[in-house]
């Protein structure tokens, strides 16, 4: 009895031992697999990082543009003459549309006369009567009438092609004038007793009230017409730019990009095609700038103009630079203060990172890698900004002047587009 019991106990203990051994082997295997997985993943991560680092250490040379530029606020200065008459409270009728040019002595706008609305209503009623009276008149073949009818047709086509309210108003006014001329011609030919002749004569007398009583304002000089008035026209003069200091400009408290409102009491003539931009600046490029230096100014994505520095006023650590622009884009008519991009210089050619340049004894090199072979290439740096440089190869004559022999020049390497160069750390 005791013997059998002992055997059973031994078998039970052996089973427990085998069970523990199996679990231990399972955990060892699991750990080994996990460790192997981590090793494999580490290998791939290491190679991935190595590849990324390798790509960031190499740059492919391409043709490009490098520039030195800065975005600044500019005050627009134009040569402007204000036009205003005595009856400005009556309201105005624009004869010349905003932005159009006018010759000296030509009418620009006129002020309404007292009671003009009543007079215009009378004229409108007479126009209806004249139109009806013309229908009863015999058809007249007249070259002057045919010319006027052709003008009316052209003006009607212009109305359909424009979205300008002012232009449409002026075209309609011209159409009415031509219709009046046609009616007058027919009236002259008609018998004295005809209704048409009487109506035309009556209308001409009423029209005379408008022309005789109206105050017409004419251009004092030829130039571009504008009705956008900010009352700074006589403050921003073009005769002498000494007044343009940092304090003067900032005390005006002008908002950048604010559209000048249209005035219904007065207008102005911008007498010159050119204009000026006054800009407060303190960059290194601005500090090195001189009068007569030429730059480019980007007004917006689509408009870049040439400019020349004509005046520099120092104001402590800042300078006020006055740029002359030989053009007058619409943006520089409608605004007094705008944001622009001053481009001090632009260089086109082989573009490389500045960090790729190796400087030795006043000379610059690039470490070129071609087919796994690294060489240092002597290059000429045409210009550079904080990030990039435009480089080129030296001409043989330039290398000779630098003291290189013919054999040395023959054995020199050159840099080309699509070459791979190393970034220096």
- Residue range 44-97, pLDDT digits in tens: 555 544 444 444 489 999 999 999 999 999 999 999 999 999 988 888 888 898
d(CA 106, CA 85): 15
Domain annotation covers residue 222: no
Residue 323 lies in domain? 70-80+231-345
d(CA 65, CA 349): 7
278 shares its domain with 302: yes
Domain annotation covers residue 165: yes
235 shares its domain with 341: yes
| pTM of the predicted structure, to 2 decimals | 0.69
Largest CA distance in the chain: 160
What are the backbone dihedrals phi and psi of residue 151, each rounded to the nearest 5 degrees, phi first? -65, -40
132 shares its domain with 186: yes
164 shares its domain with 197: yes
Domain annotation covers residue 278: yes
Which among 345, 370, 404 is the end of a domain? 345
Mean pLDDT of 125-141: 76
Of all residues in the chain, the percent with pLDDT exceeding 90 is 52
301 shares its domain with 399: no
**Domain containing 363 — which CATH number?**
2.40.420
Sign, CA dihedral 26-32-33-34, equals: positive
The residue behind tokens 């030795």 is 360
Domain annotation covers residue 32: yes
Span of 47-51, 76-80, 112-116, 419-423 with lowest mean pLDDT: 47-51
Q: How many domains does the chain have?
A: 4
120 shares its domain with 194: yes
**Domain containing 311 — which CATH number?**
2.40.30.170
Residue 177 has pLDDT above 90, yes or no: no
327 shares its domain with 381: no
pLDDT attached to residue 212: 73
Higher pLDDT, 27 or 368: 368
Give the helix/strand (H/E) hosting 317: none
Domain annotation covers residue 221: no
Span of 120-134, 287-301, 302-316 with lowest mean pLDDT: 120-134
Radius of gyration of the chain (CA): 42
Going by pLDDT thresholds of 50, 70 and 90, the confidence category of residue 400 is very high
Domain annotation covers residue 48: yes
Domain annotation covers residue 223: no
């Amino acid at each position: 009895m005791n013997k059998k019991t002992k055997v059973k106990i031994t078998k039970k203990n052996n089973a427990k031992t085998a069970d523990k051994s199996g679990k231990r082997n399972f955990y060892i295997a699991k750990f080994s697999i996990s460790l192997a997985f981590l090793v494999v993943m580490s290998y791939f991560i290491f190679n991935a990082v190595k590849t990324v680092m390798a790509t960031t250490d190499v740059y492919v040379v391409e043709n490009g543009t490098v520039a030195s530029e800065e975005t600044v606020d500019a005050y627009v200065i134009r040569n402007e003459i204000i036009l205003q008459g005595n009856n400005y409270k009556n309201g105005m009728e624009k004869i010349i549309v905003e932005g159009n040019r006018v010759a000296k002595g030509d009418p620009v706008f006129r002020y309404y006369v007292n009671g003009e609305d009543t007079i215009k209503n009378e004229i409108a009623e007479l126009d209806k009567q004249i139109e009806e009276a013309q229908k009863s008149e015999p058809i007249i073949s007249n070259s002057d009438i045919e010319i006027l009818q052709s003008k009316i047709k052209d003006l009607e086509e212009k109305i359909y092609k424009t979205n300008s309210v002012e232009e449409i108003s002026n075209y309609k006014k011209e159409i009415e004038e031509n219709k009046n001329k046609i009616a007058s011609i027919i009236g002259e030919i008609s018998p004295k007793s005809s209704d048409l002749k009487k109506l035309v004569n009556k209308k001409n007398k009423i029209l005379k009230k408008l022309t005789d009583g109206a105050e017409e304002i004419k251009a004092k000089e030829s130039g571009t017409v504008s009705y956008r008035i900010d009352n700074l026209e006589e403050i921003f003069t073009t005769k002498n730019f000494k007044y343009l200091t940092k304090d003067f400009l900032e005390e005006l408290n002008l908002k950048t990009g604010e559209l000048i409102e249209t005035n219904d009491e007065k207008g102005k003539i911008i007498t010159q095609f050119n204009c000026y931009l006054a800009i407060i600046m303190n960059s290194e490029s601005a500090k090195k700038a001189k009068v007569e230096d030429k730059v480019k100014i980007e007004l917006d994505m689509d408009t870049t103009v040439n400019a020349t520095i004509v005046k520099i006023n120092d104001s402590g650590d800042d300078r006020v630079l006055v740029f002359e622009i030989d053009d007058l884009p619409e943006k520089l008519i409608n605004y007094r203060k705008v944001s622009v991009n001053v481009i001090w210089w632009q260089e086109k050619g082989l573009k490389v990172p500045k960090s790729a340049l190796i400087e030795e004894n006043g000379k610059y090199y690039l470490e070129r890698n071609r087919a796994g072979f690294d060489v240092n290439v002597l290059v000429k740096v045409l210009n550079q900004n904080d990030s990039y440089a435009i480089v080129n190869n030296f001409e043989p004559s330039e290398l000779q002047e630098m003291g290189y022999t013919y054999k040395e020049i023959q054995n020199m390497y050159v840099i080309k587009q699509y070459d791979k160069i190393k970034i220096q750390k």
